[in-house]
Amino acid sequence: MAETEATEPKKSRAGIIIALLSIVVIIQTVKIYLDYRDKEDLTEQKANVEEDLASTLQRLKEIQSELDQKIVEIQKLGGDVAELQKAKAEVDAQLKRNVARSSKAIKELKDRVQGYEELLKLKDDEIDKLKNVNKELFSENRQLKTQKNVLNDSINRLSTSKQELASKVAIASQLKAENVSVKAVNAKGKERESPFRNKQIDKLKVEFSIAENKVAPIEGKKILIRILDENGQLIFDMARGSGTFLLNNKEEFYTASQEILFDNTRQKLTFFYEKGSDYATGNYTIEIITDGYKMGTVGFVVK
């Protein structure tokens, strides 16, 4: 009887231990299962985050390309692209980031993508308006060009008429030498008409009057004479007052000159020229020039 009573407490304790162990096993099994489920959930959540990030970044790349297109199009239409360029710089910066992104960061990125999409829609409306404005401006510019061409034609005709008139006035205002004469003056002051002998030519005396010209302005004039032999060779001596001037945009020499104030009073001019050596026999021409044109000519002969 005593042994039976001792055995029963042992069996009771063993049962308790077995029950406790069973509970521990159950708890561990449940924990392992829950950990497994949590790990699966985390893996699935991570996969979802990565997929969400990849799709968002892909949309950002598309937006990057769309922004480039909108910038080029609006620039061609003459619009302001500052806002688009700022958005493009932000998108470029986002795409260059290589750091891992949290769910919160991805949410913020998706919000930015929505903002960029709204901006692109607004710019589509702006492009339509700019196209309409440019179309109207093109039509107005075409009308203005037509009017401008008509105006330019009128101005050109007026300019041509003005130039023709100026040319006519310039020609009409040219001075003429009249009553031109040339004489030989010997050492005693005696004057002779052409033809001359060298011994009779101490100086040449050229005289003429400036004809009246009501068109010509009263102004200072430099009157030149050029003495040329029958071969067209000019007689000049820098030491005796000769010099150069422009004739038909070419530098030429003159024999002698005088500066006067033309006052339209038929004023009379006299030139004396002393060559200092004998003249070759032959025919000579004296040209009277001012402002690049001839006022008159006279000839003489040396025997």
Query: Do 92 and 208 belong together in one domain?
Result: no
27 assigned to some structural domain: yes
Whether 143 and 90 have beta carbons less than 8 Å apart is answered as no
Which amino acid is residue 25, in one-letter code? V
Query: Do 100 and 184 belong together in one domain?
Result: no
224 assigned to some structural domain: yes
**pLDDT score at 284:** 97
Whether 90 and 109 have beta carbons less than 8 Å apart is answered as no
Whether 123 and 70 have beta carbons less than 8 Å apart is answered as yes
**pLDDT score at 108:** 80
3-state secondary structure the chain: CHHHHHHHHHHHHHHHHHHHHHHHHHHHHHHHHHHHHHHHHHHHHHHHHHHHHHHHHHHHHHHHHHHHHHHHHHHHCCCCCHHHHHHHHHHHHHHHCCCCCCHHHHHHHHHHHHHHHHHHHHHHHHHHHHHHHHHHHHHHHHHHHHHHHHHHHHHHHHHHHHHHHHHHHHHHCCCCEEEEEEEEECCCCCEEECCECHHHCCEEEEEEEECCCCCCCCEEEEEEEEEECCCCCEECCHHHCCEEEEECCEEEEECEEEEEEECCCCCEEEEEECCCCCCCCEEEEEEEEECCEEEEEEEEEEC
7 assigned to some structural domain: no
Task: Give percent of the chain with pLDDT exceeding 90.
Answer: 38
Query: Do 191 and 115 belong together in one domain?
Result: no
> Structurally, how many domains does the chain consist of?
2
**pLDDT score at 236:** 93
Closest CA to 286 of 295, 187, 175, 277: 295
Among the residue ranges 37-41, 48-52, 133-137, 267-271, the one predicted with the least confidence is: 37-41
SS3 93: helix
Whether 43 and 37 have beta carbons less than 8 Å apart is answered as no
Helices 103-172 & 2-76 angle (0-180, nearest 10): 10
pLDDT digits (tens, 9 = 90+) for 34-63: 766 666 556 655 666 677 778 888 888 898
Among the residue ranges 39-43, 236-240, 265-269, the one predicted with the least confidence is: 39-43
- pLDDT averaged over the chain? 84
Mean per-residue pLDDT, 158-164 = 67
The parent domain of residue 215 ranges over 177-302
SS3 241: coil
Mean per-residue pLDDT, 120-145 = 84
Is 80 exceeded by the pLDDT of residue 203? yes
Residue 175's DSSP bridge partners are none
pLDDT digits (tens, 9 = 90+) for 86-127: 888 888 888 887 656 777 877 887 888 888 888 888 888 888
Q: Where are the beta strands (DSSP E) in the chain?
A: 177-185, 191-193, 203-210, 219-228, 234-235, 243-247, 250-254, 256-262, 268-273, 282-290, 293-302
**pLDDT score at 60:** 84
Query: Do 90 and 192 belong together in one domain?
Result: no
83 assigned to some structural domain: yes
197 CB neighbour count, 10 Å cutoff? 14
Residue 258's DSSP bridge partners are 223
Closest CA to 283 of 301, 265, 264: 301
Question: Among 109, 126, 143, which residue terminates a domain?
Answer: 126
70 CB neighbour count, 10 Å cutoff? 21
pLDDT band at 204 (very low <50, low <70, confident <90, very high): very high
Predicted TM-score (pTM) above 0.85: no
223 assigned to some structural domain: yes
Whether 221 and 175 have beta carbons less than 8 Å apart is answered as yes
Question: Among 102, 126, 150, which residue terminates a domain?
Answer: 126
165 assigned to some structural domain: no
42 assigned to some structural domain: yes
pLDDT band at 178 (very low <50, low <70, confident <90, very high): very high
pLDDT band at 251 (very low <50, low <70, confident <90, very high): very high
Question: Among 98, 126, 154, which residue terminates a domain?
Answer: 126
CATH number at residue 238: 2.60.40.10
171 assigned to some structural domain: no
**Distance (Å, whole) CA 234 – CA 228:** 4
Query: Do 119 and 203 belong together in one domain?
Result: no
